[in-house]
Amino acid sequence: MTVIDILIIGAGGFIGAVIRYLLSGKFNKEGSSLPFGTLIVNIAGSLLIGIVVGLGVPKLWTLFLVSGFAGALTTFSTLFKELLQLWFGNRKRQFIGYILLTYGVGILVAFVGFIIGKAL
């Protein structure tokens, strides 16, 4: 890994983190049944990763888009924090639904993104 690689990942990560912060603030509303902001960024990141991998883009673009941007856009730490809050807040149905939506839809859109990327 070169210094250029690190800078490219960092630039993508900066943009992805800012977008995640903005989207989470807009869509994660108090009293909502699910933390939709986190769900949106995780699914969007899964789709982007699928498309980029399917396209077979050059290494530097993969570093920027997948390792940097999508890596910072998506978040497992926030997902797990929110899952714990749902579980210990006695919101078991939302807990199960959130897991199924996040992983089920995330995997599905990654596959769809890969197919789209291959077709382009």
* Binding-site positions for Na(+): 71, 74
The answer for residues whose C-beta is within 8 angstroms of residue 27's C-beta and 6 or more apart is 36, 37, 40
Q: Within 13 Å of residue 93, how many CA atoms lie on the same side as its CB?
A: 1
In three-state form (DSSP H/G/I as H, E/B as E, the rest C), the secondary structure along 18-66 is: HHHHHHHHHHCCCCCCCCHHHHHHHHHHHHHHHHHHHHCCCHHHHHHHH
What is the rounded distance in angstroms from the CA atom of residue 45 to the CA atom of residue 8?
A: 18
What is the rounded distance in angstroms from the CA atom of residue 5 to the CA atom of residue 12?
A: 11
Binding-site members are 71, 74
